[in-house]
Structure 1
Amino acid sequence: MSYLCGCYYLVVCANPYRRDVPPQKHHLPLLSSTIHSTILSTTSRTVLTQTFTNPTAQNIHECIYTFPLYDGVSVVSFTCRIGKRVLRGLVKEKEKARKAFDEAVNRGETAGLLEQIPEASDVFATKLGNVREGETVIVEIVYVGELKMSEGEGVRFTVPTKIAPRYGGGPAVMEGLNAQEEGGIKITVDVNVPEGSFIKGVQSPSHPIAVSMGTISTAPTAEPMMSRASATLSLGSTALEKDFVLVVQSRDVGIPKAILETHPTIQNHRALMATLVPKFSLPPSRPEIVFVADRSGSMQHNMTMLISAMKVFLKSMPLGVKFNICSFGSSHSFLWPKSQSYSQETLQYASDHLVHFRADYGGTETFGAIKATIENRFTDIPLEIILLTDGDIWAQEELFKYVNEQVEQTNGNIRIFPLGIGNGVSHSLIEGLARASNGFAQAVQDGERLDNCVVRMLRGAMSPHIIDYTLEVKYEREDDDFQLIDKVTDGMKVLLSDDKQAKNTAEKPAISLFDTSVNLEKEDLKGPEDTSFWLPDIPFPKLHQAPQKIPSLFAFSRTTVYLLMSPETIQRNPTAVILRATSAHGPLSLEIPIESLPIPAETIHQLAAKKAVQDLEEGRGWIYDAKDQNGILIKDRHPSCFDELVKKEAIRLGEKFQIAGKWCSFVAVVANDKEIAEKENKIVEQKSLVIGDDGEVLAGEFLRFIVYMVLGV
């Protein structure tokens, strides 16, 4: 049974003598489901709207709406329309958000709560409170994200349309969920590429589409341009049965770019996005390559694709490389006890082994197979794991933690390249594994060609291991004629002064051990609302890079690195970012000039914050590498509360930049209106500084203004 996006509520048994009967789930009918996305070069902005109705003759106290999102996207807006009431969400720490929601519902107000499912970062649930009889419910989610590279000069845009069944114990909110899908989903995608480039083609390997070249849906009568296109489903809508995939081919999407954005409400706060598809060539390495093939029951309909991929892999390897095959499900087994050298004889033996491949290994114990492969490796050469799976498991956190530890212990000599196969791939699993191990992930659906995809992954596995990439920011010269450079690595030492803490304690007045005003019976055992008040104060870096560790660069895979530049950074105009690394064949470097956006905005800040929070959720991030003034790692100095420090930092980022995640949620209540109005006023004031009274953008920046207005800022 597939878990489909949908909205449901619980009905408790009315018979007071049958309290043993569990609440029954009833689904609100889905009236319509629409997606409107805008692709701008290598990023996307999507508005997901689903409309339900309460057809019953009773008020629904609380209902739950579940849906999937593509891994790593940043939700930037959450709106609930219940009847005539429009509620807009704000991000708060998860427990505070739940409390605000519950209090509003208990007062009889309509309210909404959006949460990320802890077990998987690509599944969200929304609670709606007090839905009146006959009322219509509209939930609108807006999110932005990066796009995957496709073969050639292309980008790949994916819309997950169902929550696939996953092996293992899932969250309670998903139990028994099987929403209605008769309404299907309507999808429209507008494509814009920068001036000077043009769109070569738009196609979908997953669904039949209608494409309009030269125009977009929001401006159908505008003069046609080669930098615009629009795509819709040929049949108008599609059933929620597999991911919708769109591939856009355009010129110059791989040119390195660095874009600087100023925040509209946080004074002097900037964010930088640097993106590139590297073009360099180093002699290939001779690693050990192990193909970890998923032969669990869920792969029943995907075995043909898996076997085809394995055949291409085996025939494409160079002579002499050590290789092996690990089949897994509930258990695992290796083709050979230890990897063998690639030759005509071992190729034939492995090819004969593929004839016996069946989906007959039971459940999906991915962790056991990965762990056994790492423990079985040759320790004197790098290990490259190519994982072929439908990626459907709930227990992801444990796997990510193990891979993080192994990569660190081997100094980056282990990489994983997951290949998601089939129509229900968990992108959070395959992308999360790739991030943890410095590899990259790809996904193919039924009917897609996989030859180029397979060859690209094999080339990645043969690429040398480079793990010391660093990023620097170069600032413009002023009267002093000094060239100022900011290095991310300089911010990894934090000052924790025990003397200051002792002084503050000494200055506090003495507390009486016998205070007659104290009533112990009424004393609140819960303590202050701020549950992190007792944690040590860890200063965060003024120059915050995300991801904290730049992954391996591959000449056919896009890499994006963000910098959150606090007001404490050098307050000059940055002119370039410099990427450096070392290899056995000499130093590597690339200088990318910075383009500053003329309009204050939040998009790059929110993408950067999401990437930073994602690091923390998956067991990485700056706080894992931070040291005190004596060179002791923070995680070693405060081992008893380090998990709470990680959570505190993720909450700080989530609330500051309004990013939902594992520890932060959107809550939509009436009380938000005032705070949102104040924020919008600040944004209008900031934009008025760069837009004239007649609405024209100053300094000839009209093109870039339009480009960013497309992203919704």
Structure 2
Amino acid sequence: MVNCCGLVSEKNEPVPLKSISVQLQVRDHVTSVSSSLQYVNEEERPLEAVFVFPLPAEAAVCHFSAKIGEQEIVAELQDKQSARDQYDDALSSGQQAFLLEESDESSDVFKLSVGCLSPGQIAVITIVYVMELSIQADDALRFCLPAVLNPRYTPTASAAGVPEVSSASVIPYTLSLSVDVRSSDRISRLDSSCPLDPLVFLDAQHTHATVTLSAGHRFDKDVELLLYYENAHQPTAVVEAGAAAAQTGSLMADPVLMISLYPEFPADVMSSLASQGEFVFVVDRSGSMDCTMHHGKDAQMRIDSARDTLLLLLKSLPMGCYFNIYGFGSHFESFFPQSVVYSEDTMEEALKRVKNMKADMGGTEILQPLKHIYSQPCFPDHPRQLFIFTDGEVWHTKELLDLVKSHAYSHRCFSFGIGEGASTALITGMAREGSGHAQFITGADRMQPKVMQSLRFALQPAVDNISVDWTVPEGVTVDMLSPPISALFQGQRALIYAQLKGQSSGKTEGAVTVKYRLKDQPVTNQLQFTLKPTEDTGRTIHQLAARSVIRSLELEERAGGADAEAVRSRIVELSVQAGVSSAHTAFIGVNKDSTQTVKGPLLQRRVPVPPMGVPQVTFHSRPCAGVRMGDSSDVMMDDSSDAESDESDAASDPEPEPQADPLLQLVSLQKASGCWELNAALAAVFGKTEDEVTNHRPAQADGSVWATVLALIWLHTCRSGDQVEWQFVAMKAASWIRSQKPDGLTPCVCDGNVLLGGHVTQEALGI
């Protein structure tokens, strides 16, 4: 079997998708994305193409249209089954039709059906979606245009539903991308994983800027944009006016408010991180984890990066907590039958097993290990913190999210998408339903800094008793459209959508107050806002608010109950009313004005899922009578790399090479208590011999104290730029030194600086 890396026809010719043009309009923390895809039927017979492609899970698709020559067909949003029937009826009648629908299994996969293209005919398909921009650890707002739809592993897939892979080609289409940014805050810069033309500011205040992707970009990897504002943590409130033509009393008719809050916790509370907890690390060991992190030079294997990250995590845990590590693929295994107390012995035992971890466990079945973890009793006074690492190549996403949500009361879930193509629905959904935080590691990103940022969140004191109160003028009421806030993290945004009903007789100001308790201390954050829209902001906020309500209703429907059908009807009603996609609706467009119908069966093409760079495409043949299309799962294939069985015996493999990175080597030598021992391996990290290090030791200094002081000085002097990775290692070391109450610490630090060429003070070391 040859892996396909592009879209080709049976004759090894490019498929009809020729180019993609994308325009982004960013307004503060949200964006509207317009993608135009050009298709050409280069065959000699009529053609139907079905493309399966990724969109961000949090996106709300709000427009779908097709342009044939000079004629534009704007699709309508309808009940999904009705739209599918209409599409089939149109094709059986020889009419051109276009169908866009969300996958039944995962909200970040869409299927686009382009029907009845005559030979030589050109069609330009335009899809518009709106979404919130996620915030990163360094305060960047992130947008990702996914180029990859990784094959989604389906444990029960039948062979008939899996397309064969028979040929390979290069990426046949081009990408152009332009970005327009308008903000109430000053724009600092815009970075990207791909070459950009220079950022152009269009006003003196630097609140309006444009940028374009450099010409010649081959769309063979995700395009990641990172937008930096000058005051990223400033809370904001945006009021969007209702539509005059909308039904009175409906969501679209009333003003909608979007609040962005950045809770700031008291410094004295944040200075002491929690020392309790149960930390469960769940690591994908499927075959696809044996791929590289990116396609650049010297890219690390995904499983190798996961091993390095586990080393840092294990060394950073506080003494006395509980922990366990799970590996999963077609089956799963755990290091310990149940979570164990973190000590020198258990840490060393876990590290030995981490060194032998391989991507050798077959497919990507994450459901069973999660069920097993949730079946384990929690430890009193040790809140469960779940860290999940996966390349996200699973298909039953909605079932997984329902499982996480059903146990939200007993844990927090921190999820990490590894490599390009990781399912945004899975990664962001698990963190959202588990009241945690999601991170994506793409391109040349290193996994360790992002994971350690999430560990800081996990070690933050728990926030409870969260309440949201509104102060509005008489005659105005507020309906919350967002789910209740279940988690707040220092420096992380909390978004709130609300519908403003009624009319104020005079006052135009309101306020929202968020209250919570943090380590038994009451905290209050308040934000003032105006009830009057400052400008015509379109429908973006309304559409995002509707999307939030729809997602909540979809979860409620899947939970079951007597009102499931009523909930479904509410989803369809709100989806059609707001013009945004849902699990139960689809966009349908039919060219009823075409003067020429297409005769005879459509040309059949069946082209497989490529592993990198492009959407999946399937071409169908249809007789003159209407034929029911299969759902999205009919055109999905298993991850072939995941389907490999474990053919190697781990015990027969050679021992892994020692860590080449001096930082990881230093960390690997630290004891669970936080100290280092004075030996040749530690001296080698410093570039010294054991005799050199020993001979410089002050007479009154204990060997372990001297070694630990040197390790801290080296971290601050030689790896200051990586502090986010070693911050907890250093905190444990400083705490251990303080507990020893050593004499002569000042000369110890002075001599250490001389030996290592540093200039670090005792205060900076935390001792």
User: What is the TM-score when the length of structure 2 is the normalising length?
Assistant: 0.68
| SS, match of residue 124 in structure 1 | strand
Using the TM superposition, give the Cα deviation of residue 656 of structure 1 relative to its aligned residue in structure 2, in angstroms: 1.0
Residue in structure 2 matched with residue 494 of structure 1 by the alignment? none
Q: Does 1:661 align with 2:585?
A: no
Distance 1:343 1:670, change over 3 A: same
Native 8 Å contact 1:5 1:68 kept in 2: no
In structure 2, C-alpha distance between the alignment counterparts of 1:262 and 1:7, rounded to whole Å: 47
Query: Which of 127, 149, 158 is the equivalent residue of 2:144?
Result: 158
Residue in structure 1 matched with residue 441 of structure 2 by the alignment? 444
Native 8 Å contact 1:400 1:619 kept in 2: no
In structure 2, C-alpha distance between the alignment counterparts of 1:594 and 1:145, rounded to whole Å: 22
Residue in structure 2 matched with residue 317 of structure 1 by the alignment? 317
Residue in structure 2 matched with residue 275 of structure 1 by the alignment? 260
Native 8 Å contact 2:80 2:586 kept in 1: yes
Residue in structure 2 matched with residue 239 of structure 1 by the alignment? 219
Bigger radius of gyration among the two: 2
Contiguous gaps of at least 5 residues in structure 2: 292-301, 595-767
Q: Does 1:601 align with 2:538?
A: yes
Using the TM superposition, give the Cα deviation of residue 107 of structure 1 relative to its aligned residue in structure 2, in angstroms: 4.1
2:257 is matched by which residue type in structure 1?
L
Residue in structure 2 matched with residue 399 of structure 1 by the alignment? 400
Mapping of residues 307-346 of structure 1, within 5 Å: 307-346=307-346
- Return the structure number with greater relative CO, CA threshold 8 A, min gap 6: 2
Count of equivalent residues = 566
1:427 is matched by which residue type in structure 2?
T
Distance 1:573 1:228, change over 3 A: closer
Using the TM superposition, give the Cα deviation of residue 450 of structure 1 relative to its aligned residue in structure 2, in angstroms: 3.0
In structure 2, C-alpha distance between the alignment counterparts of 1:2 and 1:270, rounded to whole Å: 51
Distance 1:657 1:2, change over 3 A: farther
Using the TM superposition, give the Cα deviation of residue 129 of structure 1 relative to its aligned residue in structure 2, in angstroms: 2.6
Q: Say what the alpha-carbon RMSD is for the aligned residues.
A: 3.2
Q: Does 1:651 align with 2:572?
A: yes
In structure 2, C-alpha distance between the alignment counterparts of 1:298 and 1:388, rounded to whole Å: 13
Residue in structure 2 matched with residue 53 of structure 1 by the alignment? 40
Q: Does 1:618 align with 2:555?
A: yes
Residue in structure 2 matched with residue 145 of structure 1 by the alignment? 131
Native 8 Å contact 2:175 2:219 kept in 1: no
Native 8 Å contact 1:2 1:165 kept in 2: no
2:114 is matched by which residue type in structure 1?
L
Residue in structure 1 matched with residue 631 of structure 2 by the alignment? none
In structure 1, C-alpha distance between the alignment counterparts of 2:71 and 2:6, rounded to whole Å: 23
In structure 2, C-alpha distance between the alignment counterparts of 1:190 and 1:429, rounded to whole Å: 27
1:325-361: CA deviations, max 9, x gaps?
Answer: 1111122222122222333443333222221010011
In structure 1, C-alpha distance between the alignment counterparts of 2:406 and 2:416, rounded to whole Å: 22
Residue in structure 2 matched with residue 298 of structure 1 by the alignment? 288
Native 8 Å contact 2:7 2:172 kept in 1: no
Query: Which of 66, 87, 92 is the equivalent residue of 2:73?
Result: 87
Using the TM superposition, give the Cα deviation of residue 428 of structure 1 relative to its aligned residue in structure 2, in angstroms: 0.8
Native 8 Å contact 2:287 2:359 kept in 1: yes
Query: Which of 84, 95, 120 is the equivalent residue of 1:98?
Result: 84
In structure 1, C-alpha distance between the alignment counterparts of 2:77 and 2:538, rounded to whole Å: 18
Using the TM superposition, give the Cα deviation of residue 427 of structure 1 relative to its aligned residue in structure 2, in angstroms: 1.0
Query: Which of 38, 43, 53 is the equivalent residue of 2:25?
Result: 38
Q: Does 1:417 align with 2:405?
A: no
Residue in structure 2 matched with residue 287 of structure 1 by the alignment? 277
1:498-532: CA deviations, max 9, x gaps?
Answer: xxxxxxxxxxxxxxxxxxxxxxxxxxxxxxxxxxx
Using the TM superposition, give the Cα deviation of residue 224 of structure 1 relative to its aligned residue in structure 2, in angstroms: 6.7
Using the TM superposition, give the Cα deviation of residue 231 of structure 1 relative to its aligned residue in structure 2, in angstroms: 4.1
Native 8 Å contact 2:148 2:420 kept in 1: no
Residue in structure 1 matched with residue 356 of structure 2 by the alignment? 356
Contiguous gaps of at least 5 residues in structure 1: 12-23, 216-221, 478-483, 488-542, 625-634, 674-713
Q: Does 1:254 align with 2:236?
A: no
2:546 is matched by which residue type in structure 1?
A
1:659 is matched by which residue type in structure 2?
V
Mapping of residues 207-246 of structure 1, within 5 Å: 207=194, 209-215=195-201, 226-234=206-214, 236-240=216-220, 242-246=221-225
User: What is the TM-score when the length of structure 1 is the normalising length?
Assistant: 0.73
In structure 2, C-alpha distance between the alignment counterparts of 1:104 and 1:567, rounded to whole Å: 44
Using the TM superposition, give the Cα deviation of residue 467 of structure 1 relative to its aligned residue in structure 2, in angstroms: 5.3
Using the TM superposition, give the Cα deviation of residue 73 of structure 1 relative to its aligned residue in structure 2, in angstroms: 0.6
Native 8 Å contact 2:413 2:437 kept in 1: yes
Using the TM superposition, give the Cα deviation of residue 303 of structure 1 relative to its aligned residue in structure 2, in angstroms: 0.7
Q: Does 1:263 align with 2:249?
A: no
Distance 1:406 1:162, change over 3 A: same
1:119-159: CA deviations, max 9, x gaps?
Answer: 11111112223212210021111111111112323111111
Using the TM superposition, give the Cα deviation of residue 181 of structure 1 relative to its aligned residue in structure 2, in angstroms: 5.3
Query: Which of 168, 182, 186 is the equivalent residue of 1:197?
Result: 186
In structure 2, C-alpha distance between the alignment counterparts of 1:182 and 1:559, rounded to whole Å: 39
Residue in structure 2 matched with residue 555 of structure 1 by the alignment? 490
Distance 1:238 1:461, change over 3 A: same
* Most deviating of 24-33 and 580-589: 24-33
Residue in structure 2 matched with residue 63 of structure 1 by the alignment? 49
Using the TM superposition, give the Cα deviation of residue 401 of structure 1 relative to its aligned residue in structure 2, in angstroms: 1.8
| SS, match of residue 210 in structure 1 | coil
| SS, match of residue 162 in structure 1 | coil
1:655-713: CA deviations, max 9, x gaps?
Answer: 1101112101111235799xxxxxxxxxxxxxxxxxxxxxxxxxxxxxxxxxxxxxxxx
Native 8 Å contact 1:416 1:438 kept in 2: yes
Using the TM superposition, give the Cα deviation of residue 422 of structure 1 relative to its aligned residue in structure 2, in angstroms: 1.4
| SS, match of residue 515 in structure 2 | strand
In structure 1, C-alpha distance between the alignment counterparts of 2:352 and 2:81, rounded to whole Å: 55
Native 8 Å contact 1:3 1:164 kept in 2: no
Q: % of aligned pairs identical?
A: 26
Using the TM superposition, give the Cα deviation of residue 192 of structure 1 relative to its aligned residue in structure 2, in angstroms: 2.2
| SS, match of residue 662 in structure 1 | coil
1:62-105: CA deviations, max 9, x gaps?
Answer: 43232211111111211111333311122111122223333433
Distance 1:250 1:90, change over 3 A: same
1:292 is matched by which residue type in structure 2?
V
In structure 1, C-alpha distance between the alignment counterparts of 2:504 and 2:580, rounded to whole Å: 23
1:322 is matched by which residue type in structure 2?
Y
